[in-house]
Chains A and B, each alone.
Chain A
Protein backbone atom coordinates (compact mmCIF):
# COMPACT_ATOMS: atom_id res chain seq x y z
CA UNK A 1 0.00 0.00 0.00
CA UNK A 2 1.22 3.49 -0.78
CA UNK A 3 0.76 6.42 1.54
CA UNK A 4 -2.71 7.78 2.34
CA UNK A 5 -2.94 11.40 3.47
CA UNK A 6 -5.98 13.10 4.98
CA UNK A 7 -6.03 16.63 6.32
CA UNK A 8 -8.09 18.21 9.07
CA UNK A 9 -8.11 21.67 10.54
CA UNK A 10 -7.75 22.15 14.30
CA UNK A 11 -7.93 25.90 14.93
CA UNK A 12 -5.24 27.41 12.74
CA UNK A 13 -3.21 24.20 12.59
CA UNK A 14 -3.51 21.86 9.61
CA UNK A 15 -3.06 18.27 10.75
CA UNK A 16 -2.01 15.80 8.07
CA UNK A 17 -2.80 12.22 9.07
CA UNK A 18 -0.55 9.86 7.12
CA UNK A 19 -0.85 6.09 6.88
CA UNK A 20 0.92 3.42 4.86
CA UNK A 21 4.36 3.70 3.30
CA UNK A 22 6.31 6.80 2.28
CA UNK A 23 8.78 5.25 -0.16
CA UNK A 24 10.34 6.02 -3.53
CA UNK A 25 7.73 6.30 -6.27
CA UNK A 26 4.07 7.04 -5.78
CA UNK A 27 4.20 7.30 -1.99
CA UNK A 28 6.94 9.91 -1.81
CA UNK A 29 5.63 11.99 -4.72
CA UNK A 30 2.07 12.05 -3.35
CA UNK A 31 3.47 13.16 -0.01
CA UNK A 32 5.54 15.95 -1.64
CA UNK A 33 2.64 17.22 -3.75
CA UNK A 34 0.24 17.30 -0.79
CA UNK A 35 2.56 19.29 1.48
CA UNK A 36 3.50 21.73 -1.31
CA UNK A 37 -0.17 22.28 -2.12
CA UNK A 38 -1.00 23.00 1.51
CA UNK A 39 1.94 25.41 1.77
CA UNK A 40 0.97 27.13 -1.50
CA UNK A 41 -2.56 27.67 -0.16
CA UNK A 42 -1.09 29.63 2.73
CA UNK A 43 -1.23 27.00 5.47
CA UNK A 44 1.60 28.04 7.79
CA UNK A 45 1.14 25.66 10.71
CA UNK A 46 1.42 22.05 9.62
CA UNK A 47 1.44 19.03 11.92
CA UNK A 48 2.34 15.76 10.23
CA UNK A 49 0.91 12.76 12.07
CA UNK A 50 3.01 9.70 11.22
CA UNK A 51 1.29 7.45 13.78
CA UNK A 52 0.00 5.01 11.15
CA UNK A 53 3.02 5.10 8.85
CA UNK A 54 4.57 1.65 8.74
CA UNK A 55 7.58 2.35 6.57
CA UNK A 56 9.69 5.30 5.44
CA UNK A 57 12.75 4.90 3.22
CA UNK A 58 15.51 7.39 2.40
CA UNK A 59 13.36 8.88 -0.39
CA UNK A 60 10.53 9.41 2.08
CA UNK A 61 12.96 11.05 4.50
CA UNK A 62 14.17 13.24 1.63
CA UNK A 63 10.60 14.37 0.93
CA UNK A 64 10.04 15.14 4.61
CA UNK A 65 13.19 17.29 4.65
CA UNK A 66 12.21 19.07 1.41
CA UNK A 67 8.74 19.71 2.81
CA UNK A 68 10.26 21.09 5.98
CA UNK A 69 12.42 23.48 3.92
CA UNK A 70 9.51 24.54 1.70
CA UNK A 71 7.24 25.30 4.65
CA UNK A 72 9.96 27.00 6.70
CA UNK A 73 11.13 29.16 3.78
CA UNK A 74 7.52 30.29 3.38
CA UNK A 75 7.48 31.51 6.97
CA UNK A 76 5.61 28.51 8.34
CA UNK A 77 6.45 25.52 10.48
CA UNK A 78 6.15 21.76 9.99
CA UNK A 79 6.21 19.56 13.07
CA UNK A 80 5.89 15.81 13.56
CA UNK A 81 3.50 13.77 15.67
CA UNK A 82 3.25 10.12 16.70
CA UNK A 83 6.59 8.70 15.59
CA UNK A 84 6.89 4.96 16.06
CA UNK A 85 10.18 3.39 17.13
CA UNK A 86 11.32 2.68 13.59
CA UNK A 87 10.76 6.26 12.45
CA UNK A 88 12.47 7.57 15.60
CA UNK A 89 15.43 5.32 14.79
CA UNK A 90 15.61 6.79 11.28
CA UNK A 91 15.63 10.34 12.64
CA UNK A 92 18.40 9.36 15.08
CA UNK A 93 20.55 7.71 12.40
CA UNK A 94 20.15 10.66 10.02
CA UNK A 95 20.45 13.25 12.84
CA UNK A 96 17.21 14.78 11.65
CA UNK A 97 15.90 14.81 15.20
CA UNK A 98 17.96 18.03 15.39
CA UNK A 99 15.84 19.50 12.58
CA UNK A 100 12.30 18.33 13.28
CA UNK A 101 10.29 19.19 16.37
CA UNK A 102 8.43 15.98 17.28
CA UNK A 103 5.62 15.21 19.72
CA UNK A 104 3.98 12.09 21.11
CA UNK A 105 0.86 13.93 22.23
CA UNK A 106 -1.38 15.79 19.78
CA UNK A 107 -2.66 18.32 22.32
CA UNK A 108 0.91 19.27 23.25
CA UNK A 109 1.84 19.52 19.57
CA UNK A 110 -1.12 21.81 18.86
CA UNK A 111 -0.27 24.02 21.85
CA UNK A 112 3.31 24.40 20.59
CA UNK A 113 2.07 26.35 17.56
CA UNK A 114 0.41 29.04 19.71
Chain B
Protein backbone atom coordinates (compact mmCIF):
# COMPACT_ATOMS: atom_id res chain seq x y z
CA UNK B 1 0.00 0.00 0.00
CA UNK B 2 1.25 3.51 -0.83
CA UNK B 3 2.79 5.46 2.04
CA UNK B 4 2.44 9.20 2.44
CA UNK B 5 5.30 11.52 3.44
CA UNK B 6 5.01 10.60 7.13
CA UNK B 7 5.11 6.87 6.42
CA UNK B 8 1.41 6.35 6.96
CA UNK B 9 -0.70 3.94 4.94
CA UNK B 10 -4.46 4.12 4.68
CA UNK B 11 -5.89 0.99 6.32
CA UNK B 12 -9.52 2.01 6.59
CA UNK B 13 -11.54 4.43 4.48
CA UNK B 14 -15.24 3.74 4.80
CA UNK B 15 -18.57 5.47 4.72
CA UNK B 16 -20.81 4.54 7.65
CA UNK B 17 -24.53 4.96 8.25
CA UNK B 18 -25.67 7.53 10.81
CA UNK B 19 -26.72 4.84 13.27
CA UNK B 20 -25.50 3.66 16.67
CA UNK B 21 -24.47 0.32 15.10
CA UNK B 22 -21.81 2.27 13.22
CA UNK B 23 -20.20 3.19 16.54
CA UNK B 24 -19.42 -0.48 17.26
CA UNK B 25 -18.29 -1.04 13.66
CA UNK B 26 -15.91 1.93 13.75
CA UNK B 27 -14.43 0.86 17.08
CA UNK B 28 -13.79 -2.64 15.73
CA UNK B 29 -12.17 -1.31 12.53
CA UNK B 30 -9.86 1.07 14.40
CA UNK B 31 -8.88 -1.46 17.06
CA UNK B 32 -7.91 -3.94 14.33
CA UNK B 33 -5.35 -1.44 13.05
CA UNK B 34 -4.27 -0.32 16.54
CA UNK B 35 -3.56 -3.93 17.54
CA UNK B 36 -1.41 -4.34 14.43
CA UNK B 37 0.59 -1.25 15.42
CA UNK B 38 1.20 -2.92 18.80
CA UNK B 39 -0.63 -0.74 21.31
CA UNK B 40 -0.96 -2.36 24.77
CA UNK B 41 -4.40 -3.25 26.17
CA UNK B 42 -4.91 -0.09 28.25
CA UNK B 43 -4.08 2.09 25.26
CA UNK B 44 -6.41 0.06 23.05
CA UNK B 45 -9.17 0.79 25.56
CA UNK B 46 -8.42 4.55 25.39
CA UNK B 47 -8.26 4.54 21.58
CA UNK B 48 -11.52 2.58 21.39
CA UNK B 49 -13.21 5.00 23.75
CA UNK B 50 -11.99 8.05 21.82
CA UNK B 51 -13.33 6.54 18.59
CA UNK B 52 -16.69 5.78 20.20
CA UNK B 53 -17.00 9.35 21.51
CA UNK B 54 -16.07 10.81 18.11
CA UNK B 55 -18.55 8.52 16.36
CA UNK B 56 -21.34 9.37 18.81
CA UNK B 57 -20.65 13.07 18.20
CA UNK B 58 -20.85 12.50 14.44
CA UNK B 59 -23.95 10.27 14.44
CA UNK B 60 -25.98 11.97 17.17
CA UNK B 61 -24.94 15.64 17.18
CA UNK B 62 -23.54 16.02 13.66
CA UNK B 63 -25.74 13.96 11.36
CA UNK B 64 -28.62 13.68 13.87
CA UNK B 65 -29.24 10.07 12.81
CA UNK B 66 -30.14 11.22 9.27
CA UNK B 67 -30.34 8.33 6.81
CA UNK B 68 -29.22 10.73 4.07
CA UNK B 69 -25.96 11.60 5.82
CA UNK B 70 -22.88 9.43 6.26
CA UNK B 71 -19.92 9.33 8.61
CA UNK B 72 -16.55 8.89 6.93
CA UNK B 73 -14.00 6.94 8.93
CA UNK B 74 -10.34 6.95 7.90
CA UNK B 75 -7.52 5.17 9.70
CA UNK B 76 -3.87 5.62 8.78
CA UNK B 77 -1.23 3.29 10.16
CA UNK B 78 2.46 4.04 10.69
CA UNK B 79 5.07 1.97 12.55
CA UNK B 80 4.84 4.15 15.66
CA UNK B 81 1.45 5.84 15.49
CA UNK B 82 -2.10 5.74 14.25
CA UNK B 83 -4.18 8.56 12.76
CA UNK B 84 -7.98 8.38 12.96
CA UNK B 85 -10.35 10.74 11.22
CA UNK B 86 -14.12 10.84 11.81
CA UNK B 87 -16.03 13.25 9.58
CA UNK B 88 -19.77 13.94 9.60
CA UNK B 89 -22.05 15.86 7.25
CA UNK B 90 -23.73 17.96 9.93
CA UNK B 91 -23.88 21.70 10.39
CA UNK B 92 -20.48 21.89 12.07
CA UNK B 93 -19.51 23.66 15.28
CA UNK B 94 -16.85 25.98 16.57
CA UNK B 95 -14.63 24.69 19.37
CA UNK B 96 -14.98 27.92 21.35
CA UNK B 97 -18.76 27.48 21.50
CA UNK B 98 -18.46 24.15 23.34
CA UNK B 99 -19.11 24.76 27.08
CA UNK B 100 -16.20 23.82 29.34
CA UNK B 101 -17.41 20.62 31.05
CA UNK B 102 -14.94 21.16 33.91
CA UNK B 103 -16.22 24.57 34.97
CA UNK B 104 -18.26 24.75 38.14
CA UNK B 105 -21.46 25.77 36.37
CA UNK B 106 -21.20 22.85 33.92
CA UNK B 107 -19.89 20.04 36.11
CA UNK B 108 -23.40 18.63 36.67
CA UNK B 109 -24.51 18.93 33.06
CA UNK B 110 -25.85 15.75 31.53
CA UNK B 111 -23.77 15.93 28.35
CA UNK B 112 -20.78 17.66 26.79
CA UNK B 113 -17.87 15.50 27.97
CA UNK B 114 -17.11 13.58 24.77
CA UNK B 115 -14.47 15.93 23.38
CA UNK B 116 -12.85 16.21 26.80
CA UNK B 117 -12.42 12.42 26.91
CA UNK B 118 -11.07 12.31 23.35
CA UNK B 119 -8.48 14.95 24.22
CA UNK B 120 -7.53 13.09 27.40
CA UNK B 121 -7.07 9.74 25.65
CA UNK B 122 -5.31 10.78 22.44
CA UNK B 123 -1.96 12.56 21.87
CA UNK B 124 -3.20 15.05 19.28
CA UNK B 125 -6.76 16.12 18.51
CA UNK B 126 -7.94 18.65 15.97
CA UNK B 127 -11.46 19.66 15.02
CA UNK B 128 -12.09 21.30 11.67
CA UNK B 129 -14.99 22.10 9.42
CA UNK B 130 -14.92 19.89 6.37
CA UNK B 131 -15.24 21.12 2.81
CA UNK B 132 -18.91 21.72 2.22
CA UNK B 133 -20.70 20.99 5.48
CA UNK B 134 -19.73 18.96 8.47
CA UNK B 135 -17.02 18.46 11.07
CA UNK B 136 -13.90 16.33 11.05
CA UNK B 137 -12.26 15.15 14.25
CA UNK B 138 -8.71 14.00 13.63
CA UNK B 139 -6.91 12.08 16.35
CA UNK B 140 -3.34 10.83 16.61
CA UNK B 141 -2.06 8.24 19.08
CA UNK B 142 1.64 7.42 19.35
CA UNK B 143 3.16 4.20 20.55
CA UNK B 144 5.22 4.77 23.69
CA UNK B 145 8.92 4.05 23.09
CA UNK B 146 9.93 0.55 24.22
CA UNK B 147 11.65 0.24 27.58
Task: Tell me the A residues contacting B by CB distance below 8 Å.
Answer: 23-25, 55, 57-59, 61-63, 65-66, 68-69, 86, 90, 93-96, 98-99
Contacts and interface: CB of A to CB of B under 8 A. Distances in A.
Interface string B87-125: 000000000000001100001111101101100100000
A69 B108 contact: yes
A98 B107 contact: yes
Contact of B20 (A24, A58, A95, A96): A24
Interface residues of B, number: 20
Contacts, number: 49
A94 B114 contact: no
A25 B110 CA distance: 15
Nearest to A26: B20
Contacts of B101: 94
Contacts of A23: 52
Contacts of B56: 24, 57-59
B26 interface: no
A105 B120 CA distance: 28
Residue from A58, A59, A93 whose CB has the most chain B CB atoms within 10 Å: A58
B27 to A, nearest CB: 11
Nearest to B48: A55
A95 B111 contact: no
B117 A58 contact: yes
Given A94-B101, A95-B107, A99-B108, A57 B120 contact: no
B60 interface: yes
